Structure 1
Amino acid sequence: MPSLSDSLDALRGIAESPAVAELAAAFGERGHEFALVGGPVRDALLGRPVVDLDFTTSARPDETRAVLDVVSTNVWDVGRDFGTIAAKVHGETVEVTTYRAEIYRDDSRKPEVSYGDTIEGDLVRRDFTINALALMLPDLRLVDVSGGIEDLLAGRIRTPGSPESSFTDDPLRMLRAARFASQLGFEIDVDTRAAMAEFAERLDIISAERIRDEFVKLMGSADPVPGIRHLVDTGLAERFLPELTALVATQDDHGRHKDVYEHSLTVLRQAIDLEISRRDSPTAAPDIVLRIAALLHDIGKPATRRFERGTVTFHHHDVVGAKLAKKRLRELRFDNDTVKRIARLVELHLRFFGYSDQQWTDSAVRRYVRDAGEELDRLHILTRADVTTRNRRKAERLEHAYDDIEQRIEVLSEAEELAAVRPELDGEQIMALLGIAPGPIVGRAYKYLLEVRLDEGLIGADAAEARLRAWHVEQGAEGRDD
């Protein structure tokens, strides 16, 4: 945490920015309290970049809207039912929320909102003490009702009131605790963590979309592993991602130094390191598809675990894992494209290891690229990250082998445009050459020529035509279309 003077300078800088100064004046002129609250205050005090500007006010939503309409021509409701109005002010997107207190009923997926009258009452209902901080504007008075500053200094995540009451009010806060542990590198208070385990089942009342969004935020942090450990250890992961918890007791294929769960966490960390090292820009967004695929790449192992001749095997766990990932991610309401990409990576993550002990043919390289498609770069990272052996010689051999594969792909791509592998004759040419109309045989002919292309590379149009005619004769289909 930076020095007190640096932290105060950061807060003062935010308060004096054109957007914030104008907003504070506008609300003050109309007799409303106005404060920067939560994450921006926390991050400024920690010396972290302040990205979002969140404010709270004594004004009711209609009053907030009236004030914002004066200072901005771009105002919209983010969630009027929750008392939040947003606007664009001096190029900054800001959100202003009425003082509030919200709770969940036992069988409700949505909070019931009531508005409050004081900043202290608003802060007490917030999720954690480190977020229950407000900077009153324009007078720059810092309000801390629950020891948030002390917890920032201690690197501790704790609820303002009892954790039992907090997690009963909003069970999603349990996932947020795990996420903040990863994002900030903080420890979760003992009582708070105990309550997470005690009230894990209450997460079931939260919608899949909200759980998904919180999980994605966790996976986007610099190191998601501490947060994931909290989710698994407290039983929260069991409520929405039980396949992850099932990995804990599943030994790896050697039955030795680590279980599949620990291996998966190591793969995730290694994938993140490789992802960052290969980024085109230091400000690039985290690759959530890659990270989730790395975490879930072995979730098919518990279902395929077998003991054969004293050895543990997991035959076809890649295919089973892809199906499990697809099912679970759909239940969490991930979009179809994300589900497809993650499942494909899980399905392909073993492909390299089937060839790692032998020289790849050009045909194998082409098929590898064709099957990976748009996920090739991610597959490169996932495959490298999946090497967690302590045997240094083996690790180096696998690394060199994959270096060779990437180099082979690059060379063949330059010569053959592997990213768009297709037969040398298209459907129209096939029909014209064979004198047939559209029908099933055209598809079979196209597939045959694609196999030739993958096996042998570019052989030229004349050779492709000769192959096609010979194939057609072999099919016993000369002159007819069935």
Structure 2
Amino acid sequence: MKRAPADTPDPEDNLSAYAGRWVARVGGRVVAHGGTPEEARRAAQAARYKERVEVSFVLPSHLTLPPLVDAVRGALPPDQPLYLVGGALRDALQGRLTHDLDFVVPQGGRRAARRVADALKAAFYPLDDERDIGRVVVTRADGGRDVLDFAAFRGPDLEADLRGRDFTVNALAMDLRSGEIFDPLGGAADLREKRLRACSPSALREDPVRVLRAVRHAAALNLHILPETRQAIRDAAPLLTRVSPERVRDEFFRILESPRPATSLRALDLLDALPHFLPELTEIKNVEQPPPHVSDVWRHTLRVLDHLEGLLALLSPHYDEEMAADLFNGLLVMRLGRYRRQLAEHLATALTPDRSRRALLFLAALYHDVAKPTSKTLDEDGRLRFWGHDKKGAEIASRRARALRLSNEEIAYLKTVIRHHMRVHFLTNRLYRKGKHPSRRAVYRFFRHAAEAGVDIVLLSLADLRATYEHTLSQDHWAACLDVSRTLLENWWERPQEVVSPPPLLNGRDLIEALDLSPGPLVGELLDAVREAQAMGEVSTREEALAFSRRYLSERAGK
């Protein structure tokens, strides 16, 4: 592999035009350039074959390495070879900071990681004994985490390591002792030209989870997947069934966590990858839906993801005001913008470490109509219906979640969101068609079944409504859904003790002693009835709760 000292742009040579590429110079002047050092050298030698050629990489003027790089460099002995590789360098070349850093050393990856962890007073995890990989997790003052992975060379030297990676944009390295850049496959040029190219014809078959990584990189970095790499993805996709569910899950959730999950899902569909890890989704293709739906179930599902991305962006703490210029977006911001902070905190929480609620919400959106193919019926008027698709869909989604090794909490969350995703639509229709706002009882029962997942159901329902009607959605119908959504969120965040979860006035022992009851299901039924009466504002003291309980028993006995 050709080596060259990294160059900073030189105004005299106008090197800024070559940022991210290799240049060949003769006598200090640029005579050729290329995507790899070999390309630049060959081009220069063809034109100036008798003169000595110097090849160097032109770093972008905005290149900024993450602050932790200096700390890592200082934590290891000065004579320890140390290279920053992969995504961290790729992002630095694009002027983006990352909190995930990959380092390689000739040998002793775990040993280097432990030494850095000790120096930084951070957590150390041995990831892979066979491949000599260790991880350091640094907790920042803001509560965030930086993840530093250290690995030994995969192969006899650095070039072999880089050539054995997944995509050329990740086959980059910087020597953190000398500043030299290593780019044997032209990854910097591919990055600059917005190309995604596999490092070798066998790269995807060697590790099929790279199929998912390819579409994630393409969507996140706005890269065009080259034809030969697209074919390699199709060829490797069936091998996903041989990959451990945990690895598939982790890479898939990185897609769901990304800013553009809908784009990645479309790409996975076009590349024939979905049947090999989300097979249920193939069944919803070409399943037609009656009006008011404007598309079949699969296209509707993708549009739900699109609209969900859009409304989450509009309701984020840092949103683009120009996005709200659209009438429907403006109404969304006006009615629900007050909850930006609460929504951001809610979506950032994790039921399981490393998998956010936001990602789970997109998974719920992806599966919310998955049972429609098996729920199709015709009513007396010959109209197509999908009765019970919410309940059946919850079960199908939970089976897929188990197959992906999600936690019990995550599975329960998915079931709740999908099982109850029609409830906001029912409340909206009552307001839009009959002018009836959600009652306190309706709000209480909604959150009694959904709990904190009710917030996610609201967000999914807004996206679902937009995707159902698209351009045919009326302003009044959208406003009704926003009003219902605001009522639910207002009660959840601003009036929880009044309606959502009133503090108990009685316990089971109180009822047993005061009403001469025996322990059993009736006591629980009474407690539920009392709490609902509290939510409706009918009782507010212990005495009123006991009086209500006596009336409830009397009416129950008279039925």
TM-score, length of structure 1 as denominator length: 0.84
Structure 1 partner of 2:359:
288
Cα distance change on mapping 1:390 and 1:183 into 2, 3 Å:
same
User: Are 1:399 and 2:478 matched, yes or no?
Assistant: yes
Structure 1 partner of 2:19:
4
* One-letter amino acid of the structure 2 residue matched with residue 401 of structure 1: A
Q: Distance in 2 between matches of 1:88 and 1:470?
A: 59
Specify which of 143, 146, 154 is matched with residue 185 of structure 2. Answer: 146
Q: Out of 262-271 and 308-317, give the one that drifted further.
A: 308-317
Cα distance change on mapping 1:329 and 1:147 into 2, 3 Å:
same
Structural mapping, 1:335-354, within 5 Å: 335-354=407-426
User: Are 1:209 and 2:259 matched, yes or no?
Assistant: no
Cα distance change on mapping 1:97 and 1:452 into 2, 3 Å:
same
Structure 2 partner of 1:137:
176
User: Are 1:95 and 2:170 matched, yes or no?
Assistant: no
Cα distance change on mapping 1:274 and 1:457 into 2, 3 Å:
farther
Q: Distance in 1 between matches of 2:281 and 2:401?
A: 12
**Helix, strand or coil for the counterpart of 2:214?**
helix
Q: Distance in 2 between matches of 1:136 and 1:86?
A: 20
Structure 2 partner of 1:29:
79
User: Are 1:365 and 2:365 matched, yes or no?
Assistant: no
Structural mapping, 1:326-341, within 5 Å: 326-341=398-413
Q: Distance in 1 between matches of 2:237 and 2:525?
A: 54
Q: Distance in 2 between matches of 1:361 and 1:243?
A: 37
* One-letter amino acid of the structure 1 residue matched with residue 362 of structure 2: R
Alignment check: 8 A CA contact 2:278 2:400 kept: yes
Cα distance change on mapping 1:117 and 1:415 into 2, 3 Å:
closer
Cα distance change on mapping 1:457 and 1:318 into 2, 3 Å:
farther
Cα distance change on mapping 1:476 and 1:161 into 2, 3 Å:
closer
Query: 1:16: how far off?
Result: 9.9
Cα distance change on mapping 1:250 and 1:436 into 2, 3 Å:
same
User: Are 1:44 and 2:59 matched, yes or no?
Assistant: no
User: Are 1:442 and 2:523 matched, yes or no?
Assistant: yes
Q: Distance in 2 between matches of 1:451 and 1:433?
A: 20
Query: 1:325: how far off?
Result: 0.9
* One-letter amino acid of the structure 1 residue matched with residue 307 of structure 2: Q
Structure 2 partner of 1:238:
275
Query: 1:130: how far off?
Result: 0.5
Cα distance change on mapping 1:429 and 1:20 into 2, 3 Å:
closer
Structural mapping, 1:248-267, within 5 Å: 248-254=285-291, 257-267=294-304
Cα distance change on mapping 1:422 and 1:305 into 2, 3 Å:
farther
Structure 2 partner of 1:325:
397
Alignment check: 8 A CA contact 2:294 2:468 kept: no
* One-letter amino acid of the structure 2 residue matched with residue 184 of structure 1: L
User: Are 1:59 and 2:96 matched, yes or no?
Assistant: no
Alignment check: 8 A CA contact 2:106 2:157 kept: yes
Specify which of 66, 79, 85 is matched with residue 134 of structure 2. Answer: 85
Cα distance change on mapping 1:394 and 1:461 into 2, 3 Å:
farther
Q: Distance in 1 between matches of 2:423 and 2:234?
A: 38
Q: Distance in 1 between matches of 2:293 and 2:18?
A: 47
Cα distance change on mapping 1:341 and 1:76 into 2, 3 Å:
closer
Identity, % of aligned positions: 29
Q: Distance in 2 between matches of 1:177 and 1:50?
A: 19
Deviations 1:7-29 (A, max 9, x none): 54555655995324425x72x52
Cα distance change on mapping 1:149 and 1:254 into 2, 3 Å:
same
Cα distance change on mapping 1:137 and 1:180 into 2, 3 Å:
same
**Helix, strand or coil for the counterpart of 1:250?**
coil
Q: Out of 279-288 and 134-143, give the one that drifted further.
A: 279-288
Specify which of 195, 203, 206 is matched with residue 232 of structure 2. Answer: 195
Cα distance change on mapping 1:419 and 1:127 into 2, 3 Å:
same
Q: Distance in 2 between matches of 1:254 and 1:441?
A: 45
Q: Distance in 2 between matches of 1:181 and 1:60?
A: 33
Structure 2 partner of 1:315:
387
Specify which of 215, 230, 245 is matched with residue 178 of structure 1. Answer: 215
Query: 1:362: how far off?
Result: 3.4
Query: 1:65: how far off?
Result: 6.3
Q: Distance in 1 between matches of 2:459 and 2:210?
A: 33
Alignment check: 8 A CA contact 2:169 2:191 kept: yes
Alignment check: 8 A CA contact 1:416 1:457 kept: no
Query: 1:246: how far off?
Result: 2.0
**Helix, strand or coil for the counterpart of 2:406?**
coil
**Root-mean-square deviation (CA), in Å?**
3.3
Structure 2 partner of 1:110:
none
Cα distance change on mapping 1:422 and 1:79 into 2, 3 Å:
same
User: Are 1:18 and 2:70 matched, yes or no?
Assistant: yes
Structure 2 partner of 1:480:
none
Extract unaligned runs of 5+ from structure 2. Answer: 1-15, 21-57, 141-145, 317-339, 349-355
Alignment check: 8 A CA contact 2:64 2:95 kept: no
Q: Distance in 1 between matches of 2:396 and 2:456?
A: 20
User: Are 1:304 and 2:408 matched, yes or no?
Assistant: no
